[in-house]
Amino acid sequence: MTEAPTATGTREDGSPERLAIDTIRTLSMDAVQKANSGHPGTPMALAPVAHTLWRDYLRYDPETPDWPNRDRFVLSVGHASMLLYSLLHLAGVREIDADGKPTGAEAVSLDDIKQFRQMSSKTPGHPEYRMTTGVETTTGPLGQGCGNSVGMAIAERALAAKYNRDGFDLFDHDVYVLCGDGDMMEGVSGEAASTAGHLKLSNLCWIYDSNQISIEGSTSLAFDEDVGKRFEAYGWNVLHVDDANDTAAFARALDTFKATKDRPTFIVVKSVIGWGSPKAGSEKAHGEALGEDNVRATKKAYGWPEDAQFLVPEGVKEAFGGAIAARGKPAREAWEALFARYGEAYPEEAAQLQDLRRGKIKDGWQDAIPSFPEDAKGLASRDSGGKVLNALAPVIPALMGGAADLSPSTKTDIKGKPSFEPDNYAGQNMHFGVREHAMGSIANGMALSYLRSYTATFLVFADYMRAPIRLAAIMELPVVFVFTHDSIGVGEDGPTHQPIEHLATLRAIPGLDTIRPGDANEVAMAWKVALEHTHEPTALILSRQAIPTLDREKYASAEGLEKGAYILADAVGGEPDVILIGTGSELPMVADAHEKLTAQGIKSRVVSMPSWYLFEKQDRAYREQVLPPSVTARLAVEQGGSMGWDRYVTSDGATITMSTFGASAPLSKLQEKYGFTVDNVVKVARELIEKSKK
């Protein structure tokens, strides 16, 4: 198979197309070989496909790679990162800094490629958003790029519906994905594809690299379904290209995609992994350097100078980058001119779009945050969460999200607004279906395309969507992941639905702000913080059951939430004997225990601690003001597992937490069983004080 004739001709033909394709291939091989680490086979196989897509179809201006209406290219096969780095290099993409300013450097220089997989290089093992200009999303964990792409396509349709006007087609770009067998085996891609089919996202094109090889060997070992037929069942337009080297056939498929206006397109491309190398068609071409001898043999097969390394023949960059720029630059310039005229005709909308691009919300939005009066009966924090969301939605045009078929329970619908559906892309409420994993991945894609996306499901189902939550944190995307039904407060549904370990597992993710507000006013502050974040995702943890709204005349202001933890109520007359720490639905219980202790003449402090993440960001003075080192009798009360609380209660403290799974019963019975009662808080607090005085 190594020297099969192809429609693209051979190197000896002097075809500039083949020259560029082989440049991508050899750069990928050389970089992996130099690093002695990486994945050469897929870039070698897909170079013709990627080359055709970029040179002849992708609407992209290498000089302005952050132009909003550019087509998006998602490399869901993130391990094939050298394919993307080669493309960015050959296309002459220019680097943009974090403020959106050109640095004057190449996005990926040849030197960068030589630093593949080295510390602090712009060419890490898998493509990383924010690290390398032109990387539209961080990929590697399989299926995630597919999910992200659906979010990007949704965002394009939503922005078009919201902002396009007659004569002003500001948004009409497409989203292309390169994906592979691994992506197709992962359930998340199926969930995402089903969603895209339902939504008839005709701006979405997945190019499926069907190389029939997986790491353990032939895909026939585990995967022999008819993927194309499956996508037809999802409602996609399915096309086939029998040879990845047949660029003419692939171009025809792309033409069909461009002409298809009623559904997404799925192009099945048969390819040979490691094409042209002695390891071609074998799993051995996947995840390791080919070896020097094989690199030479492959170059020979390509008609390439065998000793040349990192060779970019003269004219290749010019031809490839030139073709892209010749299409993309005028398009971008025309768009800028259009946008300038739009700004005159629709100044408010234009200003909103400028804000979106900068990840900014128009000043004054915080004024819309509601406050809640004292209410002993109170309301579930999912309910107050819904109220806050609904109060904010009118002033934050970019806010868009929904639930995994649980909005009546999570209370995350924006009331009175239509649903985002194929017949109404102006709808604001997403129906993600019972697809938590894709929901997270789609929300990330929406955030990558300017939207302030949010998701919602029960906290226990955070388990289904950990991968995208983690990726939101890695990418520093300010997605808001709403999780309701946050404890044994779920009650009768029992252990499968009662989160125990989930607070800890979210708090453990670097860069994720996990906030568990303790009453309606803390919920309001939590939404404020979440939307002020520009580089952190938030996990917003809300209760199923009612929580009293605290009297903020009597207690400290809920604004303390912004510091992660604050003194809600303090002992009168000197240092407290004990510090009671509460979060979420347990905060009022702790406050009541404090009242009882006070009545018993015991000095206690109540610390509300909705966010460990924010608290850790405070300076030491503040942290020690809230939790003075001298007071080691500390009791944390939380209807979840104890993992991590030792940090705050110290070795002399204690927790009232869950050490087992829960049970199916009404909440009040569960609280008795597990010790979540005011009396038990008082009892344990007194024991701690006694112990600390010994």
Partner residues linked to 453 by β-bridges = 400
Least separation in angstroms between residue 21's CB and its own copies is 26
The active-site residue out of 136, 156, 186, 436 is: 436
Cβ proximity to its own copies: between 169 and 492 the closer is: 492
Q: Per-residue contact track with its own copies, 222 to 251, x per CB under 8 A?
A: xxxxxxxxx-xxxx----------------
Helices first, then strands: H and E counts in the chain: 24, 22
**Residue 206 found at the interface with its own copies (CB under 8 A):** no
- Is residue 277 within 8 Å of 251, Cβ to Cβ? no
Q: Is 161 left (phi over 0), alpha (psi -120 to 50) or beta?
A: alpha
Min CB(123)–its own copies separation in Å = 8
Q: Provide, rounded to whole angstroms, the least separation between the CB of residue 463 and its own copies.
A: 4
The stretch near its own copies (CB under 8 A) out of 170-178, 272-280, 445-453, 499-507 is: 499-507
Answer yes or no: is 211 a known binding residue.
yes
Using an 8 Å Cβ cutoff, are 323 and 55 in contact? Answer: yes
- Minimum distance from CB of 630 to its own copies (Å)? 12
Binding residue per annotation — 676?
Answer: no
DSSP string, 220-270: GGT--S-HHHHHHHHT-EEEEES-TT-HHHHHHHHHHHHH--SS-EEEEEE
Task: Please state the closest distance from residue 444 (CB atom) to its own copies, in A.
Answer: 13
Please give the angle made by the CA atoms of 258, 260 and 266, to the nearest 5 degrees. 85
| Nearest to its own copies of 548, 662 (CB atom) | 662
Q: Name residue, tokens 């502050």.
A: 525
Under the criterion CB under 8 A, does residue 188 sit at the interface with its own copies?
A: yes
- Contact between 195 and its own copies per CB under 8 A: yes
Residues between 419 and 438 with contacts to its own copies, criterion CB under 8 A: 419, 421, 431-438
Residue 37 CB neighbour total at 10 angstroms? 15
Using CB under 8 A, which of 332, 497, 516, 623 touches its own copies? 497
Q: Which two tokens stand for residue 657?
A: 């937490």
Quote the tokens at residue 322.
């030139």
Whichever of 171 and 461 has its CB closer to its own copies, that residue is: 461
Amino acid at 356: L
Q: Take residue 564 and report the two structure tokens written for it.
A: 């992660």
C-alpha distances in Å from residue 437, one per residue of 195, 305, 374, 456, 691: 12, 47, 38, 11, 47
Query: Which CB, 27 or 31, lies closer to its own copies?
Result: 31
β-strand partners of 604: 578
Q: Minimum distance from CB of 504 to its own copies (Å)? A: 4
Q: Which amino acid is at 108?
A: V
Minimum CB distance to its own copies smaller for 252 or for 617: 617
Residue type, 619: D
Asked whether position 665 contacts its own copies by CB under 8 A, the answer is: yes
Return d(Cα 496, Cα 523) in angstroms, integer.
26
Q: Which amino acid belongs to residue 66?
A: D
CA 214 to chain centre: 26
Q: Is there binding between residue 380 and its own copies (CB under 8 A)?
A: no
**Per DSSP, what are the bridge partners of residue 241?**
269
DSSP secondary structure of 316-328:
HHHHHHHHHHHHH
Q: Which of residues 613-632 bind its own copies (CB under 8 A)?
A: 632
Q: For its own copies, which residue of 214, 381, 390, 538 counts as binding (CB under 8 A)? A: 214
546 is a contact residue toward its own copies (CB under 8 A): no
Task: Give the residue with the Cβ less far from its own copies, 544 or 686.
Answer: 544
Amino acid of residue 12: E
CB of 211: closest distance to its own copies in angstroms?
13
Which lies closer to its own copies via its Cβ, residue 73 or residue 234? 234
Task: Spell out, one character per residue from 347 to 366, where the chain touches its own copies: x when CB under 8 A holds, - when not.
Answer: --------------------
| Dihedrals phi, psi of 96, to nearest 5 degrees | -120, 135
As given in the structure block, the two tokens for residue 60 are 């992209």
- If DSSP codes are grouped into helix, strand and coil, which group holds residue 458? strand
Cα dihedral sign, 540-541-545-547: negative
Q: Which residue has the tokens 């403290």?
A: 653
**Pair of tokens at residue 636:** 């944390």
Residues 570-609 that bind its own copies (CB under 8 A): none
Residue pointed to by tokens 């939207």 = 451
The contact pattern for its own copies, residues 383-422, with x = CB under 8 A and - = no contact, is: --------------------x-xxxxx---------x-x-
Q: For residue 461, say whether it is annotated as part of any ligand binding site.
A: yes
Q: Which of 109, 643, 675, 683 is close enough to bind its own copies by CB under 8 A?
A: 643
Instruction: State in angstroms the smallest separation of the CB of 164 from its own copies.
Output: 25
Nearer to its own copies, 396 or 665 (CB): 665
- Residue 78 in the binding site for its own copies (CB under 8 A): yes
Establish whether 493 is an annotated binding residue. yes
Q: Give the shortest CB-228-to-its own copies separation in angstroms.
A: 8
# of chain residues touching its own copies (CB under 8 A)? 111
Give the contact letters, 435-454, x = binds to its own copies (CB under 8 A), - = no.
xxxx----------------
Tell me how far apart the alpha carbons of residues 157 and 611 are, in angstroms, rounded to a whole number.
Answer: 35
Q: How far is the CA of 264 from the CAs of 88, 176, 424, 443, in angstroms?
A: 26, 10, 17, 19
- Is 436 catalytic? The answer is yes
CA distance 556 to 79: 51
Based on CB atoms, which residue is closest to its own copies, 670 or 689?
670
Q: Which of 159, 500, 520, 539 binds its own copies (CB under 8 A)?
A: 500
Quick check: 345 and 170 in contact, CB under 8 A? no
Q: How far apart are CA 385 and CA 370, in angstroms?
A: 11
The secondary structure element, H or E, covering residue 102 is: strand 102-106
Return the range that interacts with its own copies (CB under 8 A); candidates 388-396, 462-470, 548-556, 559-567. Answer: 462-470
User: Does the annotation list 552 as a binding residue?
Assistant: no
Span interacting with its own copies, options 88-96, 300-308, 323-331, 489-497, rule CB under 8 A:
489-497
Residue of 124, 386, 445, 582 interacting with its own copies (CB under 8 A): 124
* Chain residues 269-328 in contact with its own copies, contact rule CB under 8 A: 283
Beta bridge partners of 582: 608, 637
- Note the residue count of the chain: 694
Cβ nearer to its own copies, comparing 195 with 455: 195
Residues 33-72 that bind its own copies (CB under 8 A): 35, 37-38
Question: Would you say 220 or 354 has its CB closer to its own copies?
Answer: 220
61 in a known ligand binding site = no
Answer yes or no: is 634 a known binding residue: no
Q: Contact with its own copies (CB under 8 A): which of 83, 474, 614, 682?
A: 474
Here the tokens at position 604 are 């206690």
Q: Which amino acids are annotated as binding site for thiamine diphosphate, given as ranges?
A: 79, 140-142, 182, 211, 286, 461
Catalytic residues: 436
Q: Which amino acids are annotated as binding site for Mg(2+), given as ranges?
A: 181, 211, 213
Q: Which amino acids are annotated as binding site, given as ranges?
A: 39, 79, 140-142, 181-182, 211, 213, 286, 382, 409, 461, 485, 493, 497, 544
